[in-house]
Amino acid sequence: MKTPRTIVVGITGGIAAYKAVNVVRAFVLNGDSVHVVATTAALRFVGKPTLEAISRNPVHTDLYEGVAEVRHVSIGQGADLIVVAPATANTIAKLAAGLADDLLGNTILASTAPLVIAPAMHTEMWNNPATVANVAVLRSRGITVVGPGIGRLTGTDSGAGRMEEPETIVAVALAVLDRQPSAGEAAASAVQDLAGRHVLISAGGTREPLDPVRFLGNRSSGKQGVALAQAALARGATVTLVAANLEVAVPTSVTTVLVSSALEMHEAMTLAAETAEVIIMAAAVADYRPKTVQLGKIKKEDVGDTLTLELVKNPDILAALSAARRPGQQIIGFAAETETDADRLLVLGRDKIIRKGCDYLVVNRVGHASGETVGFGTERNAVTVLDRHGVIVNEVSGSKMSVANCILDVIG
Ligand code: CTP
C-alpha cells in the first residue's frame, strides 16, 4: 500500500473556486491526505463545510487561529506538495513578491515543497504586463503553472484565463510530486527540465475513410500521448498535441490540432515540427488507406457478396520528420509490436529505429494476451526505450504517466 502524501490545496477568491472541490476530491480519491487553506475571499465562492466534507480535514483560513501550534508555518512545513487552484491575479502578484499577509501566503513561504498553481482570471488580467511579469518570476523559481485554458469565462466573454480542468491540474500536480528527487538528489527545480522547450506530440489513432460513414481504424485511445502531454507540461514545456480521434480529454493549456486521417496528421506534424525542439510520434498511424473514397455510402446491392478494397501506402510521418530533422531537434518514435518474446521484440525494435531514423524508439507490446488487451486503451503500459544504436536506455512498466516521465527522462 502506498504511503499517503500530504497535499495542501490553497484556494483563492475567484469564481473557479467551486471547481477546486473536484481538485480536492481527486487527491483524496488518489489516497493522499489533503489540507485545504482557503482565503476569506475563496469562502465567499465555496462553503467551508463542503471543503471539510470532501477533504476530510478542517479547513484553515485564519492566520490568528491555532497560534499556539504555530499553524502559519506548520502547515507548509508538513506539505509534500502545495497546489493553488484557482490562483487569482492578486495571489500570483503576492506570490511573486513573497508576501505573507494571510495564512496561505505564510504557508507557501514556510514550505520547501514543490508548488503548482492554476491561474484563473479574465483575459485582460492574464495579459496585463504586471501578471505576465509575475508569472515569469514564478516560473523562473521552478513553480509549475498549469493553464490557464482558453474558453468561456464567467460572463458572456471567452478567451485565455479559464482555470484548467481539475483532472488536468491533478494529473500535472501528481506528475510533479512523483518526480520529486529523493533526499540527497538534485534540487526541486530539476522538475522543470523542459522549461522553455516546445514539445510536439502526436496521439490517438488515424482513421482512413472508405465512404462518408465508414473508415479503417485502430484501437489506440490516445491515453499514452495525452499522458506525455501532461508530463511535458508538468516539466515546464510548451506542448502541441496533434490529436487523432482521442477517447480522452486533453489539457486545455496544450495547443491541440485535431486531425483524423494519416494524411491530415502528416500535414499537421510537418507544420508544427518547424518550431518544435522535441517530437514524439505516439500516434498509431494507418500504414495504408483506401485508394478511393466513395462519395456516397457503399451499398450491399452494388457490391455483392465480396468487397475487395484496394489500399495504398500512407506516408511514413516519423521517417519523413527524421529525414528533415533540424540540428538539435530530437525525435522519438514508438514501435507497437505484438511479438511476445522479449528478445525478438528487441530485434524488431532495433530494425525499426534504423528504418525510421529517429533518435529514440519506445518499444511497446500491444494486442491481446491471455484474453487481456495490453497497450492500447489500457491504463498501464510497459515499454523499453532504445537509442539510435539499439541500446536500451530506459525501461519501465506502470501507469501511462510514469511511462511518459520515463520517456521524457531520455531527452538530453
Ligand atoms: N508511423 C508514422 N507513419 C506511418 C506509420 C507509423 O509516423 N505511416 C510512426 C508511428 O507513429 C510510430 C512509429 O512510426 O511512432 C512506428 O509505428 P509502427 O506501427 O510500430 O510501425 P510501422 O512503421 O507501421 O511498421 P510495421 O507496422 O510494419 O511494424
- The CATH number for 172's domain is 3.40.50.1950
Please report the pLDDT score of residue 392 as a whole number.
86
Nearest to 70, CA basis, from 39, 113, 37, 103: 103
Give the percent of the chain with pLDDT over 90: 69
Q: 115 and 218 in one domain?
A: no
- pLDDT tens column, 48-95: 999 999 999 999 999 888 777 777 788 999 999 999 999 999 999 999
Nearest to 223, CA basis, from 403, 411, 29: 403
Residue from 216, 334, 353 whose mutation best tests the ligand 1 pocket (most atoms within 8 A of CB)? 334
Q: In this structure, which residue's CA is closest to atom 12 in ligand 1?
A: 334
Q: Which atom of ligand 1 is nearest to the CA of 355?
A: 23
Cα-based distances in Å from 189 to 85, 200, 291, 351, 374:
21, 23, 52, 38, 35
Give the percent of the chain with pLDDT over 70: 94
Ligand 1 near 285 CB (within 6 A): yes
Distance between Cα 285 and ligand 1 center (Å): 6
The tally of domains found in the chain comes to 2
Please report the pLDDT score of residue 294 as a whole number.
94
Query: Rounded mean pLDDT of 338-366?
Result: 91
Nearest to 222, CA basis, from 238, 206, 210, 236: 206
Q: Which atom of ligand 1 is nearest to the CA of 337?
A: 20
Count other Cβ atoms within 10 Å, centred on residue 101: 9
Length of the chain: 412
pTM: 0.71
The sign one gets for the Cα dihedral 243, 249, 252, 253 is: negative
Ligand 1 near 335 CB (within 6 A): yes
Q: Which atom of ligand 1 is nearest to the CA of 356?
A: 14
- pLDDT over 70 (residue 367): no
Task: Specify the DSSP class assigned to residue 60.
Answer: B
- pLDDT over 70 (residue 387): yes
Q: Which domain does 382 fall in, by range?
A: 198-408
Contacts for 264-267 with beta carbons within 8 Å, 24 or more apart?
264/206, 265/202, 265/206, 265/317, 266/314, 266/315, 266/317, 266/320
- pLDDT over 80 (residue 303): yes
Q: 268 and 153 in one domain?
A: no
Who's near 390: CB < 8 A, 6+ residues apart? 346, 349, 350, 353, 354
Average pLDDT value over all residues in the chain: 90
Q: Which atom of ligand 1 is nearest to the CA of 335?
A: 20
Nearest to 172, CA basis, from 151, 202, 149: 149
Distance between Cα 3 and ligand 1 center (Å): 40
Query: Rounded mean pLDDT of 278-290?
Result: 98
- pLDDT tens column, 172-198: 899 888 876 544 444 334 468 899 899
Ligand 1 near 118 CB (within 6 A): no
Q: 162 and 212 in one domain?
A: no
Q: Is 218 a catalytic residue?
A: yes
Largest distance between two CA atoms of the chain: 85
- pLDDT over 80 (residue 154): no
Ligand 1 near 126 CB (within 6 A): no
Q: 213 and 117 in one domain?
A: no
Q: 137 and 206 in one domain?
A: no
What end-to-end distance do the CA atoms of the chain give, in Å? 34
Ligand 1 near 317 CB (within 6 A): yes
Please report the pLDDT score of residue 72 as a whole number.
79
Distance between Cα 317 and ligand 1 center (Å): 8
- pLDDT over 50 (residue 332): yes
Residue 1 resides in a domain? no
- pLDDT over 60 (residue 372): no
Q: 111 and 76 in one domain?
A: yes
Please report the pLDDT score of residue 205 as a whole number.
97
Q: In this structure, which residue's CA is closest to atom 17 in ligand 1?
A: 335
Please report the pLDDT score of residue 368 as a whole number.
54
Q: 76 and 152 in one domain?
A: yes
CATH number at residue 252: 3.40.50.10300
Please report the pLDDT score of residue 190 as a whole number.
45
Query: Rounded mean pLDDT of 281-286?
Result: 98
Ligand 1 near 283 CB (within 6 A): yes
Please report the pLDDT score of residue 181 as a whole number.
56
- pLDDT over 50 (residue 353): yes
Residue 297 resides in a domain? yes
Ligand 1 near 318 CB (within 6 A): yes
- Residue 156: pLDDT band with limits 50, 70, 90: confident
Ligand 1 near 316 CB (within 6 A): yes
Q: 369 and 294 in one domain?
A: yes
Cell readout for 96 is 511573486
Q: Which atom of ligand 1 is nearest to the CA of 320?
A: 7
- pLDDT tens column, 195-247: 989 999 999 999 999 999 999 999 999 999 999 999 999 999 999 999 999 99
- pLDDT tens column, 7-37: 999 999 999 999 999 999 999 999 999 999 9
- pLDDT over 60 (residue 365): yes
Q: 266 and 123 in one domain?
A: no
Please report the pLDDT score of residue 188 as a whole number.
39
- Determine which one of 57, 106, 134, 218 is catalytic: 218
Q: 167 and 217 in one domain?
A: no
Distance between Cα 367 and ligand 1 center (Å): 15
Q: 373 and 228 in one domain?
A: yes
Please report the pLDDT score of residue 159 as a whole number.
78
